[in-house]
Amino acid sequence: MNDSSRLSLWQAAFVIARRDFAAIVFSKVFLLFLIGPLFFLAIMAGGGAIGGMAASGITDPALGLAMSPQDNAAAKKAGDTLEPLVGMPDLVVIDGQEDASPQALIDDEDRNLFAVLTGTLDNPVLTGPKEDVEQWEGEVAMMVGAARGEAIPQATLRTTITDNGIINRQTAQDATARAGILLLFMLTMFLAGMILSNLVEEKGNKIIEILAAAIPMDAVFVGKLFAMLGVSLVGLTVWGTAAGVIVLLGASALPVIPPPAVGWPLFFALFVIYFSLSYLLIGSVFITIGSMAPTVRDVQTISLPATILNLVVFFLSMFALSRPGSAIEVGAAIFPLSSPYMMLARAAQDGVVWWHAAAIAWQVLWVAIFVKVGAGLFRSWVLKSGSAGREKSTGRKGLLAVLRLGANQSS
């Protein structure tokens, strides 16, 4: 056969990826796979909406005015006047209860009072829990003074800008970095687990041996990794769109979030890139570990150390994030498995862009190394053949025939 008829590694990997991708995406199980997280998003959105409706229907505790009718009226009028200026609590006039115990009025659940003002305007008594009394003592004193007809002190203030805004922005960016690491970890953890059992079924029905005779194992590993990445990106797109719709519908209720250092558009783009690289890095390790398992039951046993590995990477990243500029933070950014997490955090905290170009190239290099090592281990330990005994690759027609044969055997 002419060398021109042979498939290159990337051509063979594309055939494998297209075959696995189509087999998964166009299956009924994949539809259930997509719908599952949407139910959780719907439940979260529904719970948030119901909680918001319930919170809006709850009346805040009020301050009860239990003095004489004249004093109550004067205090209520003064409180309404001060409300736009200093922010007063809700006021409830309780006429005819001058002799009632303040504690009894507070304990009356129908009134919903946090404190009660008794006595007279000349000798007022504020009764209530310590926290509430300390919080509103100043406002109540101003209200009583205004009700007496006393002038409210006024002053011209000179404003000075402090570093609080910078500190708050840095704190918010740190929170964005931690949230990005957490989301990246959860998605990788949820989606990368599928790779562990990717080769087990094909090993059982001998399809993997047919593929190994047709193309290099490197192409099989690359094709399967990118097929599963494509499946994960489809799921990520569907879930992200649903989450975006929910966020837009509830945008008015969300607080203003300071943008990350690189800006939201680039941050979202880097999140997708680092998710892909994190998936390929941990996936290349998972597919190597899973390929060593002879049965699906063994994969369940192997999944525990694989999960622990992912947790170690996550906790390393979170620990390093709290020590910016330290040796452990730099080491976590260089270590291949934690590098996507740390670089996503840096995107939230620092606006330097060229770091990400270097980090992406570094991570791609390690994906290639992991795939090469994993394919070599699989070939040596499972197929019991070294590079010298590896068969030459067949052409396009031969590979397609092998894939059709494998599909028939798997069905």
Q: Give residue-wise pLDDT tens across range 229-267.
A: 999 999 999 988 888 887 777 665 566 667 888 988 999
Give the tokens for residue 356. 């990400």
The answer to whether residues 303 and 196 touch, using CB atoms and an 8 Å cutoff, is yes
Is 48 or 194 the better-scoring residue by pLDDT? Answer: 194
pLDDT of 97 strictly over 70: no
CA 40-42-43 angle, 5° bins = 65
The answer to whether residues 102 and 118 touch, using CB atoms and an 8 Å cutoff, is yes
Sign, CA dihedral 32-37-41-47, equals: positive
pLDDT of 395 strictly over 90: no
Residue-averaged pLDDT of the chain: 78
Considering only 86-100, 105-119, 375-389, which range has the smallest mean pLDDT?
375-389
Q: Would you call 198 helix, strand, or coil by DSSP?
A: coil
Is 45 or 228 the better-scoring residue by pLDDT? Answer: 228
**Cα separation, 264 vs 10, whole angstroms:** 34
**Cα separation, 306 vs 288, whole angstroms:** 11
Three-state secondary structure of 157-169:
CCCCCCCHHHHHH
**Cα separation, 362 vs 273, whole angstroms:** 13
pLDDT of 362 strictly over 70: yes
Residue 143: the pLDDT is: 86
Write b or e for each residue in 126-140: b if 16 or more Cβ atoms lie within 10 A of its Cβ, otherwise e.
Answer: bbbeeebeeebeebb
Amino acid letter, residue 25: V
CA 163-169-172 angle, 5° bins = 140
pLDDT of 323 strictly over 50: yes
**DSSP at 152:** P
Alpha helical stretches, state H, 122-193: 130-148, 164-192
Please, which pLDDT band fits residue 115 given cuts at 50, 70 and 90?
Answer: confident
Q: Would you call 125 helix, strand, or coil by DSSP?
A: strand
Residue 334: the pLDDT is: 95
pLDDT, one tens digit per residue, over 69-81 is: 888 888 888 888 8
**Cα separation, 88 vs 80, whole angstroms:** 8
List the end-to-end C-alpha distance of the chain, in Å, as a whole number.
31
From the centroid of its chain, how far is CA 73? 53
Please, which pLDDT band fits residue 338 given cuts at 50, 70 and 90?
Answer: very high
For range 359-373, the mean pLDDT: 95
Q: What are phi and psi of 91, to 5 degrees?
A: -110, 135
Task: Mention every residue, 6+ apart, whose C-beta is less than 8 A from residue 377.
Answer: 288, 292
Q: Would you call 205 helix, strand, or coil by DSSP?
A: coil
**Percent of the chain residues past pLDDT 90, beyond the cut:** 22
Q: How many residues does the chain have?
A: 411
Is 370 or 7 the better-scoring residue by pLDDT? Answer: 370
**Cα separation, 89 vs 260, whole angstroms:** 37
Distances (CA, A) of 212 to 20, 61, 217, 325, 405: 16, 73, 6, 46, 14
Residue 309: the pLDDT is: 85
Residue 400: the pLDDT is: 57
Is 79 or 396 the better-scoring residue by pLDDT? Answer: 79
pLDDT of 409 strictly over 50: no
**Cα separation, 328 vs 307, whole angstroms:** 22
Please choose, from the candidates 341, 330, 217, the residue with its C-alpha nearest in 3D space to the C-alpha of residue 279: 341
Amino acid letter, residue 401: A
Burial of 299 (0-12, 13-18, 19+ CB in 10 A): buried
Alpha helical stretches, state H, 250-338: 264-291, 296-321, 327-334
Give the tokens for residue 209. 């041996």
3-state helix, strand, coil in the chain (%, to 5): 70, 5, 25
Please choose, from the candidates 102, 145, 96, the residue with its C-alpha nearest in 3D space to the C-alpha of residue 126: 102
Q: Would you call 192 helix, strand, or coil by DSSP?
A: helix
Residue 172: the pLDDT is: 72
pLDDT of 157 strictly over 50: no
pLDDT, one tens digit per residue, over 273-286 is: 999 999 999 999 88
